[in-house]
Amino acid sequence: MKKPILIFAMLFAGSFAFAQNTATVSQTGNQNSSTTEQTGSNAASVEQVGSSNAANQDQSGSNTASIVQVGENTTNALTFDNLAIQLQSGQGNVATIEQREQGDSFASQEQVGDGNTATITQRNPWGNPAAPNVAFQIQEGNGNTATLNQFNGGNYSEQSQLGDNNWSLVQQAQSGNQAFHVQEGNSNYAFSGQNAGNQLAIIDQVGDGNIATTRQRGGSVNSVFVEQFGNSNNTGAIPYWGNAGENYGIDQTGNSNLVGLSQQGDFNNHFVRQNGDFNFVDIDVIGNGNSATILQFGNDNEARLIQRGDGHRTTITQTGNMNYANVIQR
């Protein structure tokens, strides 16, 4: 009878040694709340400085999570009424949320799988507090990376990735920006940079190896809609900051510009640059290996492109005001 008892004791000791969770919570201020639930071998850290902040963490497996909500020593206003939620299941996932200065911001991260990384940084420090920042990150699969930087207030972002080794980055400055990234498949790449206020960027990619990068800088009320369904479609560049004179993806400078792009197929490459006000581009592609470059410099220009089939090439350059171009390739 001693041998079974000894085996049970060894198994119990082994499970105790490997299932070690670590949680560290530090709160300064009033009416802060923190809830951490861990199953497996996870590490969690919560630090809240200010008042009425709430942090919720739920981890299963072997993951790392950190929530930081701080206000002191950066501006005169404490962080307050922020809410951060982290849900992780799997192995080797890392989630980080950091909300600073003015409050009322909301951040949520959910990761299922292995080796995913999610990072949210939200700040609302300039002048009087603006509207809250809101951020959602959802990743299911392995090796995905989602990064969000929001500066000032009133910005909204959603990043959703399903598959493996997808990459998404959103950078928002000023106020009133909205960005949505949806990627389903493997090894897709999306970037949206919004350096002025009241910009809208939507990227939806389904397939493998697709690239979409958008830049909106200066002015306001610019809008970009990118849809890519298939494999190895390209509306941008890796890295997103490189070769801006050619493969800039979609680049808008000015006010009230609009780009709509839909690609279905494989190995399509399309690039758009708008510099001015009230310019419009619409691209609709079904096929493989098609490409186009559309440049607009001026105001109230309109360019439309339809490509059906394979291997079509188009270049449209509009310089001046109120120009119109319509290209149909079959």
Instruction: Express each pLDDT in 232-278 by its tens digit.
Output: 999 987 777 655 445 568 999 999 999 999 999 999 999 999 999 99
pLDDT digits (tens, 9 = 90+) for 110-147: 999 999 999 999 987 655 556 889 999 999 999 999 99
Say if residue 32's pLDDT is above 80: yes
Rounded Cα–Cα distance for residues 260 and 272 (Å):
10
* Tokens found for residue 237: 């560049």
Q: What is the pLDDT of the chain when averaged over all its residues?
A: 89
- In this prediction, residue 151 carries a pLDDT of 85
Helix extents (H) in 19-156 = none
Q: Give, for 181, the enclosing helix (H) or strand (E).
A: strand 178-186
Least confident of 67-71, 77-81, 258-262: 77-81
Q: Three-state SS for 22?
A: strand
More reliable by pLDDT, 8 or 243? 243
Residue 134 to residue 19: CA distance in whole angstroms? 34
Question: Tokens 């490459």 label which residue?
Answer: 269
**Which pLDDT band holds residue 38 (cuts at 50, 70, 90)?**
very high
Res. 101: pLDDT tops 90 = no
pLDDT of residue 128: 59
Cα–Cα nearest to 298, from 274, 314, 282: 274
Q: Which of 219, 213, 182 is nearest to 199 (CA)?
A: 219
> Is residue 88 a contact partner of residue 108, using CB atoms and an 8 Å limit?
no
Question: Tokens representing 38?
Answer: 């861990």
Confidence bin at 70 (pLDDT 50/70/90): confident
User: Which distant-in-sequence residues (6+ apart) come within 8 Å of 14 by Cβ?
Assistant: none
| Residue 214 to residue 193: CA distance in whole angstroms | 6
Per residue in 180-218, pLDDT tens? 999 999 999 999 999 888 999 999 999 999 999 999 987
Q: Give 3-state DSSP helix, strand, coil % of the chain, rounded to 5.
A: 5, 65, 30
Residue 285: pLDDT over 70:
yes
Quote the pLDDT of residue 238: 76
pLDDT tens-digit series, residues 91-100: 999 999 999 8
Closest by alpha carbon to 69, among 21, 115, 25? 25
- Contact, 256 vs 221, CB < 8 A? yes
Residue 5 reports pLDDT greater than 50:
no
Instruction: Give 36's strand partners.
Output: 57
pLDDT at 73: 52
Task: Report the candidate in 147, 146, 192, 145 with the shortest Cα–Cα distance to residue 173.
Answer: 192
The whole-model pTM stands at 0.90
Tokens coding 180 = 């949505």
Degrees (nearest 5) of the Cα angle 144, 100, 86? Answer: 40
Residue 292 has pLDDT above 70, yes or no: yes
Q: Residue 131's closest CA among 96, 95, 155, 100?
A: 155
265 DSSP assignment: E
Residue 202 β-bridge partners? 180, 225
Q: Is the peptide bond before 125 cis (omega within 30 degrees of 0)?
A: no
Cα distance between residue 120 and residue 137, in whole Å? 8
In the chain, % of residues over pLDDT 70: 88
